[in-house]
Amino acid sequence: MNTASPPSAALDRALAAAVDAYRARHPASARQLELAAEVLPGGNTRSVLFQAPFPLAMVRGQGCRLWDADGHEYLDALGEFTAGLYGHSAAPIHQAIVEALAGGISLSSHTLREVELAREIVQRFPAMELLRFTNSGTEANLLALAAAVAHTGRRKVLVFEGAYHGGVLSFGGAAGAVNVPHDWLMAPYNDLDAVRAHVQRDGAALAAILVEPMLGAGGCIPGEAAFLQGLRQLADDCGALLIFDEVMTSRLAIGGRQSLLGIRPDLTTLGKYFGGGLSFGAFGGRREVMQRFDPRRADALGHAGTFNNNVLSMAAGLAGLRQLWTPAAVDALNQRGERLRARCNALFDARGLALQASGLGSLMTLHPTRRPLRNAADLAGCDGRVRDLLYFALLERGVFMARRGMTALSLPFGDAEVDTFVAALDDALAAHAAVLPAATIEARSAP
């Protein structure tokens, strides 16, 4: 499997020209970073949003559209890294927040909506027999791991190369330098034999296997059904808890990817859109595990969080699930995502380019390779300049996505927006055909 690479200097020149054009079109965003750098390290308070030469400063959003500080309008194909499922300012969520504000923001006690939202989630995720709220997916995963350690009395945790479970639970690249100090074991994704070897050696000390049913930040690489089902069996064999991080993949079906695969994890973590676009996280699972957090018990595990049950997230989340994220809406959005990914791959095939769109449903990532993708190692050697060039080219054509190639569709992103995305991508490919890598005999990953 080979890729016929264009001359490196030509690609460098094309990327430099794209960056120069970006600088020229966005002086207000450049100035905003200068101001931010006076009070924030690097002008940044969320690492994933930074990019060279400077990030865009967005000032407004509506539906699936964004406007930056220089007045440019974009089709929002990023969807806040999956958290923006409902788009910007959906009417039912806006109304729910206004009504909640009228009743007081911080009520210093239990509230009514938290019970309703919890019940709504449990109905969709039967494996979450009991659950607790947090402020983010990161917190949800931290608490799920704490629950597993307390329940099993063990310390080791098995994770996967390229996985991302939050800001201090990252297993790809330098970000792991700030990881919390669990006793980590690491295996390649989609490699059940490697997991089996770990279990055979360390199973008696293993508290949990933590896995995304599809690598999200790691490139939208789906977990194979046999792999994920095998993890269930291996966890049972050694007495570890299987934790499904469905912070991203929960949007693939009304009950998450676990419902599509018929797998019942011991614990599930959620986040992102379940708060209706506001701060939110949740972890839950088997009753006997989660009951350890019952404060009526003498041996109860503590779980603090001033804003765990904040009325705005509870209200927005409830409105989103009940009024917007219906089974019909779930199916329609994921079908649109499948069509978009298929059309992108058809463009790459027609032009003979070493590019592919991987993912499931409404989630996908563009990769500068045609080799099959099963784990993080399969992305080794990909030329990041190609992805950067396409990012800037699509921005210039009014499409906003993650620089790493990720897109996450929102409910307002309809068939017309799919057409807009594909047309912009086709035009960008045509404009830069001479410097994009040509495919030779590589076979693309299955869609």
pLDDT digits (tens, 9 = 90+) for 248-279: 999 999 999 999 999 999 999 999 999 999 99
Q: What is the DSSP letter of 397?
A: T
**What residue has token string 């709504």?**
120
Domain 91-324 has CATH 3.10.20.30: no
Characterize 12-35 residue by residue with b for buried, 16 or more Cβ atoms within 10 angstroms of its Cβ, and e for exposed. eebbeebeeebeeebeebbebbee
User: How many C-beta atoms lie closer than 10 Å to residue 412's C-beta?
Assistant: 18
Q: What is the DSSP letter of 323?
A: I
**At a CB cut-off of 8 Å and minimum separation 6, what does 347 contact?**
422, 425, 426, 429
Confidence of residue 4 (pLDDT cuts 50, 70, 90): very low
Mean pLDDT of the chain: 96
pTM assigned to the model: 0.96
Helix residue ranges, H only, 37-183: 91-102, 113-124, 137-152
Query: Mean pLDDT throughout 437-445?
Result: 69
User: How many C-beta atoms lie closer than 10 Å to residue 335's C-beta?
Assistant: 12
pLDDT the model gives residue 173: 74
pLDDT digits (tens, 9 = 90+) for 168-190: 999 987 667 899 999 999 999 99
Q: Kind and range of the H or E element at 337? A: helix 327-351
390 Cα distance to chain centroid: 20
Could you tell me which CATH number the domain at 327-409+426-447 has? 3.90.1150.10
User: How many C-beta atoms lie closer than 10 Å to residue 216's C-beta?
Assistant: 24
Query: Mean pLDDT throughout 341-359?
Result: 98
Domain edges within the chain? 28-59, 91-324, 327-409+426-447
